[in-house]
Amino acid sequence: MLSIIAKNMIQKSQRHYWMPWRSLALIAVLAMVVSTTGAQQAVPAQEIYAKIEGNEPVYYDSIRVLGDLDLRSLSDARVSNSFTLTNSTLINASFDGITFAKDAVFWGTTFGNASFEKAAFLGQADFANTSFGNVCFSAASFDKPAVFDSALFRDNVSFEDAVFARDAFFNEALFMGDANFNYSDFASYSYFAAAQFFGDALFSDVDFSGALNFSAATVAKRANFFQSRFQSPIFSDVVFSGPAQFGLTSFSGLSSFGGALFVDEAVFSLARFSDAAYFSGAEFQKDAFFGLTKFQDMASFQSARFEGDLNFKGGSISTMLLDKAEFCKRSRIILNDTDFARFKAHWNEIEEHVVWDQGAYLALVNNYHGLGWSADEDDCYYQYRGLNQDKKTWGWSKTIDLLAWLSCGYGVRPSYAVAWSFLTILAFALLFWRGDGIRRSAKPLNEAAEEDSVPERVTLRNALFFSTMVFLSQGPIDFLPVGRYRYYVILEGISGWLLLALFLVTLGRVMIR
């Protein structure tokens, strides 16, 4: 009971602070050992051994085993009857190579040094609420459900090469040292919900043939799932305080990392997601590597937060949902050589973070065109042309790019042509007015006017009217340019035709998709 209370106290602590958790857990362990050993009846290990030799069922509760319980010398290495040892204490125990033909129940028992290497559990194995010191389950096999819920592993533990043929339960288990599950095989459902790993969590090259529930677990150091195979894994709300390695992993079924926290690097390089991948609401405090990763179905990173780089270099993406994601100022989105069919993130949310790559930008432009997001398409293309121009050395190509930028915003900013049109009209109007370059005609169009009218200096208002008419078509016949200003009229007329043509072409490109 005290161990359960201690774990509850640990779970109420802040999930980011590991050292207070470790101290609290160690204090709880010491208190548990002191409290349990004092109230238990002493039973010699030889008595238990004799019952097993005689094929009798073993049932003990709240005992303290005197001496070492070593079953390796059993003649057939087999416990043929049921074996129950609950709420007890064993200092040293060895079950290496032993086959438990029926249920083996160790609920609430405290082990010092124990070894179950190559042990075979043909019935149910119940280690719930059990406390282990240095323990080994390497190459053990569990034919029926294996229950380690709320178990406490005070030192390193190895389940390397273990085989779980049915469901495996490690809910709320506490691993104080390294937990080694490398090369193990989970043929059915596996549960590690709210498990706590204070050392390394090693699951390299593991087969999870059934669904994996790792939700709300915490890993203080390395989490290594390199080259493992997952079926509908749930890593929701997991805290990875150390590096998280999922390189070369294979995910099938819905894979959920929603709300997960990656304090250190998250590496998913060369991983393959056959079905939907859900990272919505996840937080990456350092770089997230998805280089050469294949998302064959939808990948959702909606409302995720990135404080480092998001690297998809060389990856393949069917549909990426990245809208409403948050990026820190220094974060970069790397899409170099990335093949994606749909990339759903509005340009204003990612424009400051996408690393320059000509192919990536053009792919994004085409992507927005396919989505029908016209404004995002124009904005992305505008930035692409600007960055591409910056990379060029001075020459005709760069000069033409500059003219395209200034005149019409690379063909996606009709307002630029409108602005230049107004500036042109105003500039020539001031030129005509200040230089006294136009006169009223001696024969005005109005026949009712005085026949002896003489040319006079025009006002700024007249000059604006004259300049506008010249820009749009031709000057009014009741105003005449004089001297060299006749050539300025020709120049303004040519400018007007060019700017109007640019405006119409740009407007057509923007409005008619």
Determine the pLDDT at residue 455. 59
**Pair (452, 380) in one structural domain:** no
**Pair (307, 258) in one structural domain:** yes
Q: Percent of the chain beyond pLDDT 90?
A: 64
Lowest mean pLDDT among 52-56, 101-105, 410-414, 415-419: 410-414
Give the residue, 404 or 451, on which the prediction is more confident. 404
Determine the pLDDT at residue 459. 82
Q: Give 162's contacts (C-beta < 8 A, 6+ positions apart).
A: 137, 138, 139, 140, 141, 142, 181, 184, 185
- Contact (CB, 8 A) for 293 and 310: no
**Pair (277, 366) in one structural domain:** yes
Determine the pLDDT at residue 442. 57
d(CA 38, CA 331): 58
Confidence of residue 239 (pLDDT cuts 50, 70, 90): very high
The rounded Cα 425 to chain-centroid distance in angstroms is 53
Confidence of residue 510 (pLDDT cuts 50, 70, 90): low
Residue 387 has which token pair?
A: 């960055």
The residue-averaged pLDDT of 430-450 equals 67
Give the residue, 241 or 501, on which the prediction is more confident. 241
Domain membership flag for residue 237: no
The residue-averaged pLDDT of 195-222 equals 97
**Looking at 343, 371, 387, which one is the last position of a domain?**
387
d(CA 380, CA 371): 13
Determine the pLDDT at residue 135. 96
The number of distinct structural domains making up the chain is 3
Determine the pLDDT at residue 23. 42
Does residue 3 carry a pLDDT above 80? no
Does residue 471 carry a pLDDT above 70? yes
Confidence of residue 392 (pLDDT cuts 50, 70, 90): low
**Pair (156, 305) in one structural domain:** no
Confidence of residue 487 (pLDDT cuts 50, 70, 90): confident
d(CA 177, CA 289): 27
- Contact (CB, 8 A) for 155 and 174: no
Give the residue, 140 or 486, on which the prediction is more confident. 140
Determine the pLDDT at residue 512. 60
Does residue 1 carry a pLDDT above 70? no
**Pair (382, 449) in one structural domain:** no
**Pair (476, 372) in one structural domain:** no
Confidence of residue 417 (pLDDT cuts 50, 70, 90): confident
Determine the pLDDT at residue 325. 96
Determine the pLDDT at residue 513. 56
The residue-averaged pLDDT of 267-276 equals 97
The residue-averaged pLDDT of 439-467 equals 65
Confidence of residue 508 (pLDDT cuts 50, 70, 90): low
**Pair (374, 438) in one structural domain:** no
Range of 137's domain?
Answer: 1-217
* Mean predicted lDDT score pLDDT of the chain: 87
Give the residue, 373 or 443, on which the prediction is more confident. 373
Nearest to 214 by CA among 153, 260, 263, 145: 260
Confidence of residue 328 (pLDDT cuts 50, 70, 90): very high
**Pair (485, 377) in one structural domain:** no
Domain membership flag for residue 405: no
Does residue 267 carry a pLDDT above 80? yes
Q: What are phi and psi of 164, to 5 degrees?
A: -110, 100
Domain membership flag for residue 503: yes
- Tens of pLDDT, residue by residue over 14-24, are 444 343 444 44
**0.85 exceeded by pTM:** no
Indicate which CATH number applies to the domain containing 465.
1.10.287
Lowest mean pLDDT among 212-216, 373-377, 417-421: 417-421
Lowest mean pLDDT among 192-196, 199-203, 279-283, 507-511: 507-511
Confidence of residue 452 (pLDDT cuts 50, 70, 90): very low
Sign of torsion over alpha carbons 147, 150, 155, 160: positive
The residue-averaged pLDDT of 76-91 equals 95
d(CA 236, CA 214): 7
> For tokens 């390294």, what's the residue?
178
The residue-averaged pLDDT of 459-464 equals 85
Determine the pLDDT at residue 38. 53
Confidence of residue 176 (pLDDT cuts 50, 70, 90): very high
Domain membership flag for residue 400: no
d(CA 7, CA 305): 30
Lowest mean pLDDT among 25-29, 79-83, 168-172, 263-267: 25-29
Does residue 123 carry a pLDDT above 50? yes
Lowest mean pLDDT among 225-239, 259-273, 492-506: 492-506
The residue-averaged pLDDT of 404-424 equals 77
**Pair (466, 501) in one structural domain:** yes
Determine the pLDDT at residue 14. 42
Domain membership flag for residue 103: yes
Domain membership flag for residue 195: yes
**Pair (58, 204) in one structural domain:** yes
Lowest mean pLDDT among 34-48, 62-76, 430-444, 451-465: 451-465
**Pair (418, 383) in one structural domain:** no
Q: Tell me the chain's radius of gyration from C-alpha atoms.
A: 39
**Pair (64, 181) in one structural domain:** yes
Domain membership flag for residue 287: yes
Q: Give 450's contacts (C-beta < 8 A, 6+ positions apart).
A: none
Determine the pLDDT at residue 10. 44
